[in-house]
Amino acid sequence: MDVTNLRFLFYAYSAAWIIITIFVLMLVSRGRKIDRELARLKALVEDKERS
Amino acid sequence: MREKATYALGILGAIVMIWNLHHIFTQMAPEAAQGMAGWILFIHVPADFMGDILYTIALVTSILFLVKKDFTYDSISVACIEVGTMFILVNLVTGSIWGKNQWGIWWTWDLRLTTQLMKFLLYLGYLVVRPAIAEATQRATMSAFIAIFAYADVPLVMMAIRLPNVRTQHPSPVIETGGINSVAVPFVVGIIAQLLMALALMLVRLHQENTRREIDSLRRELHAL
């Protein structure tokens, strides 16, 4: 098989996968932060309602 | 159920993308002039398609938000724009790598490339401005206006390689130049793979936006107590 410019194909697909992976990791990290904040606020509201 | 569907869509998208790469390597001959770099097309073009589809949905939902004041439309808009901007970044980066190989340069201020960069920056602006507005209704209204304004660039990018009397280095679309038959399978499969991934990412982002609204209402409740 003619492998001319295989290097550039590799760069392009790697770059695409890296961007998608970074985006997914950012989403996961943000999701965790939001869930923590939600749990904290729920606990605060419950505490206030009890007192 | 929602989580399972999200994982299933994301994993399926990744599998389809890997299958497509396998199909390209085993079934296709490298492009005569470009060699294997020509196959960058199968990730570069679908990424732009995905971005434009998501931006179009965001345009419609932004208008619907302004008309109906329903925050569900705002959530869909921000999810579409965030995921769409990621796809446009993939398009810009893979295009730049292709350009370095074919033209010998990473970037040129060609009409098509410049308008595409403008599109990316306009929607990036949306994502930067949005969290800076604290009040929910004001934030959603301002975001809707920016999304509508930013969409003006989408047809400009499409026209940049079709307008007469415009000199551009960017190749003409394969669909319009009759070259689609030879690349139809990997091209369509590439779009399906990215569509599945976009759906999975949209579901995650929508859930986050709904949780964020719940946080806002809890904060208001706390303030009132």
Closest alpha carbon within chain A to B91:
A16
Nearest to B47 by CA among B86, B7, B3: B86
Arithmetic mean of pLDDT over chain B: 90
Residues B157, B176, B193, B148: is their CA dihedral positive or negative? positive
Instruction: Establish if B89 touches chain A: CB-CB under 8 angstroms.
Output: yes
Give contacts of B89 with chain A, Cβ < 8 Å: 19
> Residue A51 pLDDT more than 90?
no
- DSSP state at residue A4: T
Residue B148's pLDDT is what?
Answer: 97
Q: What is the pLDDT of residues B166-216, one digit of tens each?
A: 777 787 766 566 666 677 888 899 999 999 999 999 999 999 999 999 998
> Residue B117 pLDDT more than 90?
yes
Nearest to B216 by CA among B124, B125, B138: B138
Instruction: Establish if A12 touches chain B: CB-CB under 8 angstroms.
Output: yes
Residues B59, B64, B67, B73: is their CA dihedral positive or negative? negative
Residue B175's pLDDT is what?
Answer: 59
Give the phi and the psi of residue B35 in degrees, each rounded to 5. 65, -150
CB A20 to CB B197 under 8 A? yes
* Best residue of B31, B94, B197, B199 to probe chain A, by most A CBs closer than 10 Å: B94
CA distance B37 to chain A (A): 5
Residue B25's pLDDT is what?
Answer: 84
Give contacts of B225 with chain A, Cβ < 8 Å: 45, 48-49
Q: Tokens standing for B12? A: 């399926």
Residue B176's pLDDT is what?
Answer: 62
> How large is the ipTM?
0.89
A38: nearest CB among B30, B214, B222:
B214
> Residue A48 pLDDT more than 80?
yes
Q: What is the pLDDT of residues B28-48, one digit of tens each?
A: 877 777 778 888 989 999 999
